[in-house]
Amino acid sequence: MPLRPARCYKGINKPAYTRSEYIDGIPQSKIVKYVMGNLREKYELRLELKALEAAQIRHNALEAGRIAAHKYLSKAVGEDKFALIVRVYPHQVLRENKMMAFAGADRLQEGMRRAFGKPIGLAARVFPNSTVVEVRVNRAYLEQAKEALRRFSDKIGVPSAIEITDLSKVSS
């Protein structure tokens, strides 16, 4: 299957296409887990990666970011000293009208320029200031958590910022 750059599907320029009970042939989501690490512990800090603009994030990009962040945190901090939660779910079904791409294809395929297309993947729609992923750690591991979120943001292709909340000051 040819590589499809994320920019082809990044923009929110079409209506929502999410009713999977009416759509045949939707690929499975590639995201394996949404929650990793130790959720039972009380943490001092919550770091959230927030999207700065509206976009669609493909499911394989979310999975790549999750793997990168989890692997880094597991090595740098330890498996039981953090909690990583992916906060978005890929509902949006992406479609592609496959065009022939070989010599002389222009003579074969003139019609159907804006055809509906077949499902090729899933994406999560994010809007400005919406949380994409969350990491909970203690103060000693703040820099490692920031690096993990930076690695996650490199994979998703959406401008983003890290917001830090002190959970020890927030009343439970």
CATH of the domain at 142: 3.90.1170.10
Both tokens of 72, joined, read 């880094």
Tell me, yes or no, whether 108 lies in a domain. Answer: no
- Whether residue 24 lies inside any domain: the answer is no
- In-domain check, residue 15: no
The model's pLDDT over 160-171, given as tens digits with 9 standing for 90+, comes to 999 999 998 875
User: Is residue 168, in this structure, part of any structural domain at all?
Assistant: yes
Domain that holds residue 48: 36-95+116-172
The model's pLDDT over 43-71, given as tens digits with 9 standing for 90+, comes to 999 999 999 999 999 999 999 999 999 99
Across the chain, which has 172 residues, the per-10-residue mean pLDDT values are 61 87 90 94 96 95 96 95 96 84 61 78 95 96 97 94 91 54
In a domain, 109, yes or no: no
Contacts of 105 (CB under 8 A, 6+ apart): 99
Total domain count for the chain?
Answer: 1
In DSSP terms, which residues pair with 57 in a beta bridge?
124
Indicate the pTM of the whole model.
0.86
